[in-house]
Amino acid sequence: MKKIMAVNAGSSSLKFQLLEMPEEKLVTSGIVERIGMKHSIFSIKVNGEKLEETLEIENHGIAVNILLNKLIDLKIIASFDEIAGVGHRVVHGGDRIAESIVLEQDEIDYLESIVDLAPLHLGPNLIGIKAFKEVLPHVKHVGVFDTAFHHTIPEEAFLYAVPYDWYTQYKVRKYGFHGTSHKYVSYRCAELLGKKPEDVNVIVAHIGNGASICAVKGGLSVDTTMGFTPLEGIPMGTRSGNIDPAIIEYMMNKKHKSAKEITNFLNKQSGYLGVSGISSDSRDLVAAAESGNHRAKLAIDVQAKRMADYIASYYVYMGGADAIVFTAGIGENAVPTRANVIERLAVLGAKIDHERNSKVRVEQLISADDSKIKVFVIPTNEEVMIARDTLSLL
Ligand code: AMP
């Protein structure tokens, strides 16, 4: 039995889970928020109870020290030596990293060299990795990459039809994200079908604030909706998903804004929020739609239509699919949104069972017995996947 720490470092936050492996038992979890700001918040769950403290935490290094010492104070571990390894969620592995790897100096140097592919996330990920390595220099640190699972996407699907040197010189291609979740969920789905991942085709809809769909053929990602960045694909909480790229220059001229400012609109003021004008949160939209708000319903429908389009296209691309799976915040909880999508797929023989679909946050078959394709909800668990990969590299 080994204790593995799964870490997800953002620009001002650090989420963690300590797991006992290989049992996959959660020991404790928590989050440090507002790092580098006034009144940072440290919270940790112990025996189901949440403890919260307001502290001044200037940087990620201090956050890591506080967190590890807290584990000792709370008698969750007796010494740092009990932590056998640390798995770091890393947003981007560029075109080189195709699987989880031990993070030595060479790997960190490589990640530094591709920071501009995902500056908002990769920079903070690296800060988290360095902070943990400094405090725990003797354990292995493993990088688990959001992009790695998508390395099996064939050239015809990852290449944009743009001048070829954009790809060769500037690395412009589809990378895809949420790979750890797509892998976990598609493997779990194979288990539920009583088959090996190699023997099934699964379409995973990871629909949270960020959202992407993945075609998983025989256990391998063969296409996904997010692309060079997490902006591509289906509309999300605040992101537009696909638009005609010519809109960018048109709106720059109309609004007298820079490309950066318009891209910011596409990332932060679009999707659910942009269309509804109400909220980026699916709970608010579901409630508003139910009380007759047209734009809230429209925001949900615009996303559901695009989801159904992609699911149908992946169904054709893979030559059929054994299952469609919903996961993440909206996929696990938004009952009417799931039904909305599946009802659009009737031509594939997909049929929802409304009674089964009424449950939230649980692993559940939600298709009818006479549905030609099984539809599941499978709660995602990226941390377990991170801990599994870390354990296998120790
Ligand atoms: P995530 O990014 O995976 O944490 O997902 C966040 C999204 O899940 C937000 O849009 C939430 O509104 C949505 N969500 C969480 N609970 C519910 C719920 N009960 N009904 C509808 N959406 C929900």
User: Distance between CA 361 and CA 213 in Å, rounded?
Assistant: 19
**Rg of the chain taking only CA atoms, in angstroms:** 21
Kindly state if the Cβ of 143 falls inside 6 Å of ligand 1.
no
Using CA atoms, how far residue 48 sits from 211, 239, 383, in Å, is 29, 34, 18
Place of tokens 């403890």: 51
pTM above 0.85, yes or no: yes
Contact 129, 76 (CB under 8 A): no
Each residue's pLDDT expressed in tens, for the chain with a length of 394 residues: 899 999 999 888 999 999 999 999 999 999 999 998 889 999 999 888 999 999 999 999 999 999 999 999 999 999 999 999 999 999 999 999 999 999 999 999 999 999 999 888 899 999 999 999 999 999 999 999 999 999 999 999 999 999 999 999 999 999 999 999 999 999 999 999 999 999 999 999 999 999 999 999 999 999 999 999 999 999 999 999 999 999 999 999 999 999 999 999 999 999 999 999 999 999 999 999 999 999 999 999 999 999 999 999 999 999 999 999 999 999 999 999 999 999 999 999 999 999 999 999 899 999 999 999 999 999 999 999 999 999 999 9
- Bridge-based pairing state of the strands 364-365 and 374-377: antiparallel
Kindly state if the Cβ of 208 falls inside 6 Å of ligand 1.
yes
Side chain identity at 338, as an amino acid letter?
A: R
- Would you call 146 a catalytic residue per the annotation? yes
Kindly state if the Cβ of 333 falls inside 6 Å of ligand 1.
yes
Domains 2-145 and 194-382 equal at CATH topology level:
yes
Give me 369's structure tokens.
């017995």
| Domain spans, the chain | 2-145, 194-382
Side chain identity at 14, as an amino acid letter?
A: L
Kindly state if the Cβ of 237 falls inside 6 Å of ligand 1.
yes
Q: How far is the CA of 334 from the centre of ligand 1 (A)?
A: 7
- Identify which of 145, 176, 186, 161 has the alpha carbon closest to the alpha carbon of residue 318: 186
Q: How far is the CA of 292 from the centre of ligand 1 (A)?
A: 20
Give the CATH number of domain 2-145.
Answer: 3.30.420.40
Query: Which atom, in ligand 1's list, is nearest to the CA of 210?
Result: 2
Catalytic annotation, pick one of 73, 106, 109, 146: 146
Ligand 1: residue whose CA is nearest its atom 8: 329
Is the domain 194-382 a CATH 3.30.420.40 member?
A: yes
Q: How far is the CA of 337 from the centre of ligand 1 (A)?
A: 11
